[in-house]
Amino acid sequence: MPAATTLPNAAAAEQLEVLAAALTDAATDLRTGADSSPQDHAKLVDTLRSTVEVVNRPSDDLNDMMMAFVQCTAIRLLFKWKVLENMPAEGTISYKELAAKVGGDENLITRLCWFLVATGMLKQEGADQVAHTARSRPYASVNPLSAMLQIGFDEYLPSFLHMPSYFDKYGVREPSGRLHSIKASAEGRPELTATEIMYAHPERVANMTLAMSSMENMYPLAGVYDYSWVAAARDADPARTLIVDVGGAKGHTLEAICKETPGLPIERCVLQDLPEVIDVAKRMMVAIDFFNEQPVKGALIYIIRRCLHDFSDEECVEILTHLSGAMACDSRLLVGETVLSNPPSRPTAMVDLLLSTIGGKERTIEGFNKVAERAGLSLSGVHKASFGDFSIVEYSKV
């Protein structure tokens, strides 16, 4: 008897009909030449994935999981050895010639390429000619997408492989804290933080920075929160700092906010980050450690964007307590982060587990409120981006 699908046949058929209608609508939009927004693309991908999930059997799921890590390994090796880079952008090349170009064994190069041919990432013509597809070309050069592949394989995969032995040693409990993280333990340096490990290797930092740039459109720099009230209040006290961007890296968020808000002068704003980050920034700058007293007192707004997810609850309470202590009664703290739904979406659940390797986590709004209240802060509002799970969570001082 054939193995059953995950749903009874009638229910599966009904779901497939609904999904087929959605795919027909998407095909119509494509045929008319309508531009596809990121939201439309994500919706189409989810529809296709849901279609597969309706009919997949457990054995299919297992096969997909194994295919995914083999494909990731094949691409990583071919990228590392510049095999994809040495393939012509258009046209074909023989496996023999390709192996000679990179100084590799023809049999090995052929077998790795064959896997990507089998998955449709490369295409083969005849018995020994291989060519790029639109899916493989991004991995033929150094760019944000190929950098993200390296980050996943080189930085996160070793931590995931280390998880069984890590939890055997530390117990089955949520990783927390910067020290003795999964990542640091996997690298044999549990006494160091993930940041200390990374900054000891400039090439890894550069690759991480490049990879993160591929995610910028998921986390808008501006357009989520209305800063017009800050501009309106600028003349009430000409000496008062308007915005402090805590952990603001190179200052792109401040630039975007001031650009979209008439009357908000960037000269009245302060950019703060670790000294090694500040070295390459170009704003009114202050080197800072999150875990020390906040040096700028009484600013109208303190922004901490995409930082808290790197830290445990206890560490977040400490960070927020320093910010709360610097705030005036009319100050606002803006936390720019992914806010998890319950249950979370597929991408955010993945990122949450990636963050667990460094002792961090994504949070629901309840999770943010829990740490904020312990730091003397009260929720004032939640401002959602137009798409995705990114929000600006606004707090005032109790």
CATH topology classification for 9-140? Arc Repressor Mutant, subunit A (1.10.10)
Q: How far apart are CA 233 and CA 300, in angstroms?
A: 9
Name the nearest CA neighbour of 315 among 290, 294, 333, 284.
290
* Sequence-separated (6 or more) residues with CB below 8 Å from residue 304: 246, 247, 319, 323, 333, 334, 335, 336
The DSSP output letter for 156 is: I
CB neighbours (10 Å) of residue 345? 15
Q: Could you read off the pLDDT tens digit of each residue along the chain, which spans 398 residues?
A: 345 555 678 888 999 999 999 999 989 888 887 777 888 888 899 999 999 999 999 999 999 999 999 999 999 999 999 999 999 999 999 999 999 999 999 999 999 999 999 999 999 999 999 999 999 999 999 999 999 999 999 999 999 999 999 999 999 999 988 999 999 999 999 999 998 999 899 999 999 989 988 787 789 999 999 999 999 999 999 999 999 999 887 788 999 999 999 999 999 999 987 655 444 444 455 556 788 899 999 999 999 999 999 999 999 999 999 999 999 999 999 999 999 999 999 999 999 999 999 999 999 999 999 999 999 999 999 999 988 899 999 999 99
pLDDT at position 7, please?
61
pLDDT at position 248, please?
83
What is the Cα 255 distance to its own chain's centre?
22
Q: Whats the size of the chain, residue-wise?
A: 398
Contact between 257 and 221 under an 8 Å Cβ cutoff? The reply is: yes
| Residue 132 is a catalytic residue | no
Domain range annotation of the chain: 9-140, 144-216, 219-397
Which two three-digit tokens encode residue 16? 């497939």
The active-site residue out of 180, 252, 309, 383 is: 309
pLDDT at position 322, please?
97
- Domain spanning 219-397: CATH superfamily: Vaccinia Virus protein VP39 (3.40.50.150)
Q: How far apart are CA 46 and CA 346, in angstroms?
A: 10
pLDDT at position 280, please?
40
Question: pTM higher than 0.85, yes or no?
Answer: yes
Q: How far apart are CA 54 and CA 5, in angstroms?
A: 8
pLDDT at position 279, please?
46
pLDDT at position 5, please?
55
Q: How far apart are CA 280 and CA 220, in angstroms?
A: 22
